[in-house]
Amino acid sequence: MLKPLHNRGIHILVEMGQCFSGGFIENLNGIVDKIVTAAREDRKAYATKDKWSDFEHFFIKNLNELSVEGWNKATINALKELIPYQVEKHGRYLDSPQIGGAPKKPDLVVEISLFYTTNKVCVDTIPLITVIRNIGWDSIQNPKVNIYINNKLQVEKTVNTILKPGEFETLEFKCVFREPGNYKLKAIVDPDNRVNEVFEDNNEAEYEYEVSAPDLKIENIMFTPDRIQACTTVKIKVNITNIGYCPAHNFKVELEILRPGKEPATPIYVGILEFQFLDVGRSLIAEFNYHFKEAGEYVVRA
């Protein structure tokens, strides 16, 4: 129940006691359920329920941070208010909850993402961001991380550092994507299970994304003049639009002119123009000149 909070670095520790039931992180109920239910994104708990026990009332009142330190501080301050309250109300102090100690182990989690705000990227060399975080209670030396793309191992990296509790390390890799398609990115920290961790099932992270490419479309081919006669030099304009998701870089436009029925069936003219850039949704015109010497039928293709 509290595992998602733990994986985000929010730690709540309890022991068996009159006001608590369960153990470390797992199988908790009672007051812990109420605290988590009332917890908000600012990691504070708010007393929104009625009919809590005396200790629960003072505990929630003093709990300002969902962490080990916040938990301990809330308990100490709650007891300062609880003991005189119960002595006055019942003539004696009724219960004494205890706070559990954290396991002296590291706990590694990993986050992975592309250096983009969208999960749709372009064919290119793309920075890959991986964050290794120690959310446990002991240091870990030289953690290892593996990076997979579509279940194929791409990177094996040992981080030469000591990660203390609460510390993290950010790694950047370069991934080259030459083909469009759907990809699944996976990072596994401690892939060999050599570290004795608090949890072993939170060492993976996945990220799915789509790699796209530019899509160049020939809209039309125009001739100037539009009526062609023999011994005329004609401007041939090829109108091209990028209808894809990504900008186009360093591409060529080729124009061929053929004479049907002529042997061999090879072009009588081949023109090639190079362009450096065409943004998404934009158009350009590739302009060629050809001198038609003879009358007859011609095939023009781009």
* CATH number of the CATH domain containing 194: 2.60.40.10
pLDDT single digits (tens) 14-53 = 443 333 333 333 333 444 444 544 444 444 444 444 555 6
Q: What is the pLDDT of residue 126?
A: 76
pTM above 0.75, yes or no: no
pLDDT single digits (tens) 200-221 = 888 888 888 888 888 889 999 9
Q: What is the pLDDT of residue 13?
A: 53
Does residue 294 contact residue 235 with C-beta atoms inside 8 Å?
no
Q: Tell me the two tokens of residue 147.
A: 């990076």
Burial 180-209 (b: 16+ CB within 10 A, else e): beebebbbbbbeeeebebbbeebbebebeb
- 142 located within any domain: yes
pLDDT single digits (tens) 53-104 = 677 777 777 877 766 677 778 778 888 888 888 788 777 766 554 444 567 8
Q: Which residues contact 239 (CB under 8 A, 6 or more apart)?
A: 218, 219, 220, 221, 222, 283, 284, 285
Q: What is the pLDDT of residue 189?
A: 92
| Same domain membership, residue 67 and residue 14 | yes
Q: Tell me the two tokens of residue 164.
A: 């203390």
Domain count, the chain: 3
- 260 located within any domain: yes
**Region 242-266: what's the mean pLDDT?**
83
pLDDT single digits (tens) 102-152 = 678 888 888 887 665 555 677 777 778 888 988 888 899 999 999 998 889
- 132 located within any domain: yes
Domain that holds residue 63: 3-90
pLDDT single digits (tens) 145-191 = 999 988 898 888 898 999 998 888 988 888 777 788 888 889 999 99
* Number of residues that this document lists for the chain: 302
- 112 located within any domain: yes
Residue 282: pLDDT band (50, 70, 90) is very high
